[in-house]
């Protein structure tokens, strides 16, 4: 059984929730270049992300960071 996991890879990843949300909204904006109504919604989402970023600053900045470990077997 242990032989099955000899070719495993452990990936340790850390990400910033605010940065991920911001990038996701930018990807949506790029995918919806002509839809004015949806683009207006993305402006509001960007505003909310900024408010969240302000709230998660200073002593709460650690809440923005998430770390996860994945294991991939080949």
Residue 66 predicted with pLDDT over 70? yes
Write down the domain spans for the chain.
2-72
Residue 63 predicted with pLDDT over 90? no
pTM of the model: 0.67
Beta carbons within 10 angstroms of residue 9's beta carbon: 9
Contact indicator for 66, 19 with CB cutoff of 8 Å: no
């Amino acid at each position: 059984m242990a032989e099955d996991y000899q070719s495993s890879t452990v990936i340790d990843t850390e990400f910033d929730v605010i940065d991920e949300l911001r990038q996701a909204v930018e990807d949506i904006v790029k995918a919806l270049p002509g839809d004015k109504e949806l683009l207006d919604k993305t402006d509001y989402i960007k505003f909310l992300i900024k408010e969240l970023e302000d709230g998660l600053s200073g002593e709460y900045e650690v809440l923005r960071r998430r770390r996860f470990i994945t294991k991939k077997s080949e």
